[in-house]
A and B are shown apart, each in its own frame.
Chain A
Amino acid sequence: MATLEHYLILSAILFCIGVFGLLSRRNAVGILMSIELMFNSANINFVAFSKFINPDILTGQIFSVFVIAIAAAEAAVGLAIVVLLYRNFDIVNIDKINFMKW
């Protein structure tokens, strides 16, 4: 019988993988993928908590629905930016995009 802790640890691992990708990948699309991983880990958390703490009202699942919607929106906008970047600068590597430097 998988307990809440199992799910939480799985979620933590997945989240950390996502963060690692976020911090170290150069490709913008890769970074977006990493973010998806992190979303998913959060969703696992929500659903697990919903299942083990408050199973009757399904609040966690509803939040997950919202998160998925937001993730979709994020993906759409993020990819659009990537396309634009590519078109204007001919690159998709995020470490070259350092215009925020003073």
Chain B
Amino acid sequence: MELGVFYILAAVIVVSGLLVVTLKNIFHSALMLILCLFGVAGIYILLHADFLAAVQVLLYVGGVTILMIFAIMVTHQLTGKKIKHYNEQPVPAGLIILSLLILLIVSITRTAFEVADKAEPMPTVAVIGRALMTDYVLPFEVVSVVLLVALIGAIVIARRD
């Protein structure tokens, strides 16, 4: 049952991901991205990462993707226009990526992972929250600063002056 769900989710993710990079209409790509991100959120749930799944949906689907759609709207270009949406290197890139993928799969299958036989705490929110405030407080603060800088930077860059 779980495996079946995994395959379904995996299929959704892979297909929508491929569509993201292949669709001509960038707006459609964005829609496919949303679908893909939902699939990933499903994978998180499958992996018992309930907090992350929530964050994924809230932040990615609700935040980043919307932001991208806004950007597409602002630049209002290319939607539905018959122009080349690939550069001159999709074929070599495809080949490279294919070989990379093969190499990765080969190395994954060859590697023997030491899988632990333990159960993770459920729900994870409290544990993550505590960890962020104790062991990972410094990275946490750094990330907050990074976000702030990115925010201000984005405003400064995009600002019309």
- A-side interface residues toward B, CB under 8 Å? 1-10, 12-21, 23-27, 29-30, 32-34, 36-37, 40, 43-44, 47-48, 50-58, 61-62, 64-66, 68-77, 79-84, 86-87, 92, 94-95
Contact = CB atoms under 8 A, between A and B. Distances in A.
5 contacts: A14-B14, A47-B49, A57-B131, A72-B150, A83-B157
Contact of B115 (A52, A56, A61): A52
Interface residues of B, number: 85
B148 to A, nearest CB: 9
A44 to B, nearest CB: 6
B10 A21 contact: no
A49 B7 CA distance: 19
Nearest to A17: B17
Given A37-B20, A44-B40, A64-B52, 17 more contacts: A2-B46, A14-B13, A17-B14, A20-B97, A23-B93, A25-B21, A26-B84, A29-B26, A34-B20, A37-B36, A44-B43, A77-B154, A80-B157, A80-B158, A87-B160, A92-B75, A94-B87
A43 to B, nearest CB: 7
Contacts of B87: 24-26, 94-95
